[in-house]
Amino acid sequence: MGLEAFSCLKAQEFLEFGAMSHFLPKSVRNLIEELSKLPGIGPKSAQRLAVHLLHSPESKIEALGKAVVGLKENLVFCETCWNIAEENPCVICTDSQRDKKVICVVEDILDAQAIEKTREFKGLYHVLHGALSPIDGIGPDQLKLSDLFKRIESGKGDAEIVRVSEIILATNPSLEGEATALYIQKYLREYDLKITRIARGLPVGGDLEYADEVTLSRALNGRGEF
């Protein structure tokens, strides 16, 4: 009997039994193990995904495999904003239509993407790659903070020199995000800069990347001096 003869439910039971008893072929067990290492994917979800893939046509699996393998192939970090990109500097940093005097500081690349999706923001980004969290050993040196300060000090933005006039602190409304925003605000106090913090329409302890576009849009437009 071929695998296609299994109903999804039967295949699921088969996998659960197999995962427990090591009855499954090594390739399937490996896949379940690797999938379950992904964030938000527990062993059950990993098994369900494995079943789904077992039922998928070869071409779909190949396309998925290629996308995974090729993920890092053509990617670089933009050394201006530290967003992930295909070119350094990235298309946002080199876009002549964007306002290079305004920099929106975010914790990670998904936050930048979430703000970009609102289509409200026409400035540049700076991705910190995390937030201050002494308990996890994340201090200023572990983040792209000095790069941010250098960017402001040197007026670096694209090839031309542009003086930054506003910094929008769009770190998450969590303890770490607030601490990071405060750290940046204290450091930049001496500079002739407008420093704003996105509005509190966002749930405390929430994550920017999960906020809906309307909430995020409002938070951005309702930003206040920090």
Per CB under 5 A, residues contacting Zn ion are 78, 80-81, 89-90, 93
Please identify, using beta-carbon distances, which residue of 80 and 118 lies nearer to Zn ion: 80
Q: Give buried/exposed letters for 128-142 (b at 16+ CB in 10 A, else e).
A: bbbbbbeeeebeeee
Please identify, using beta-carbon distances, which residue of 48 and 126 lies nearer to Zn ion: 126
Please identify, using beta-carbon distances, which residue of 46 and 78 lies nearer to Zn ion: 78
CB 169 within 8 A of CB 226: yes
Shortest separation between residue 85's beta carbon and Zn ion, angstroms: 6
Shortest separation between residue 147's beta carbon and Zn ion, angstroms: 11
User: Any idea what DSSP says for residue 89?
Assistant: S
Q: Whose CB is nearest to Zn ion?
A: 78
Shortest separation between residue 148's beta carbon and Zn ion, angstroms: 12
* Run of H or E residues at 106: strand 99-106
Please identify, using beta-carbon distances, which residue of 19 and 170 lies nearer to Zn ion: 170
Shortest separation between residue 116's beta carbon and Zn ion, angstroms: 12
How far, in Å, CA of 111 to CA of 191, rounded? Answer: 26
Tokens describing residue 168: 């929008």
